[in-house]
Structure 1
Amino acid sequence: MYGAVMESDIDAVRLLAEKHQNLDERNPDDNSTPMIAAAATDQWPVVEILIDHGANIWAHSEFGDTAASYILDSRILKGSKEDQARMRVIEKLKAQGYPFPSPDPDEILILDKDGKWPPPGAKR
């Protein structure tokens, strides 16, 4: 899955996601997931596919980055299809109890260390 995301191969991502293969695979370099990598590279339709197929929205890299960490700083053209996917991602994350704006990465690491990430009562 990680390779498909890094190659921006949305068809391969969709196929793997439908089979629930490696949705939360970890990159050994930084412990990020395919969804974090997709968000970091503004691939919001890919992020949406991963969420729709059950990827862990609460996963964070070793630096505390989550997919949501990249939403507000997205460099895509506002109003584009990619931006529409980004807006749907925001709504899907909120529907699962993800806080907005997202806590910063340092805060996520502290919350995780204290056993408070994901937040109590969050949908998993």
Structure 2
Amino acid sequence: MPLRRWLWPVAAMTMVGCMGDGNRNDGDRHQAMNAMVAVEQGDPAAAREAAVARRGLEQRDESGATPFLKAIATGQYVIAEILADHGADPWAADEFGLTAMHYIRTNPFPPGTAEGDAKVRVRDKLRAIGFPDPPPPQGDVRHLIETRRWPPQRRSH
């Protein structure tokens, strides 16, 4: 049997093994996913698994946003609530000085929807830990971060 004839099936089996068998369940996919990727994909179940395992919970993207902040900025309040409930830093600010409260006050979601109701709960949780509402101007937040005075009078969450 020529070398080429038996090498092709071996190469094909190797490729299939490297690519996986396609039978992985969502738990396997979520297990490898960190919080930022879960937010980027809009996947609440993956966000919960990543948050429980604390995978990438405080990772920063190119603008300095954490998964919690990015979820709020993109209107994914259900995911933001999951991340907050599992210890994401509610005081996170991006490089522009924007905080969760800045986005909450500008992103409209009607009550009675899953995202709208989660938005209200997240806002109330931020207020409960002493997050200023309205928040300070973003330039002030940047200055407070630079002078190590942010977060102000932090309460535990």
User: Could you tell me the TM-score, scaled by structure 2's length?
Assistant: 0.73
Deviation at 1:77, TM superposition (A): 2.8
Q: Which residue is 2:40 aligned to?
A: 6
For the residue of structure 2 that corresponds to 1:71, the secondary structure is helix
- Is 2:46 the partner of 1:20? no
Q: Which residue is 2:142 aligned to?
A: 109
- Is 2:126 the partner of 1:90? no
Q: Which residue is 2:103 aligned to?
A: 70
Kindly provide the amino acid, as one letter, of the partner of residue 153 in structure 2: P
Deviation at 1:121, TM superposition (A): 4.3
Distance 2:142 2:152 in 1: 12
Q: 1 or 2, which has the higher helix percentage? A: 2
- Is 2:93 the partner of 1:60? yes
Distance 1:36 1:23 in 2: 11
Contact 2:102 2:135 in 1 (8 A): yes
Contact 2:64 2:95 in 1 (8 A): yes
Answer with 74-83 or 44-53: which moved more. Answer: 74-83
Deviation at 1:17, TM superposition (A): 0.8
Cα RMSD, aligned residues only: 1.4
The structure number with the bigger radius of gyration is: 2
For the residue of structure 1 that corresponds to 2:141, the secondary structure is helix
Identical positions, percent: 37
Contact 1:44 1:83 in 2 (8 A): yes
Q: Which residue is 2:78 aligned to?
A: 45
Deviation at 1:123, TM superposition (A): 2.6
Kindly provide the amino acid, as one letter, of the partner of residue 76 in structure 2: Q
Residue-pair matches, total: 123
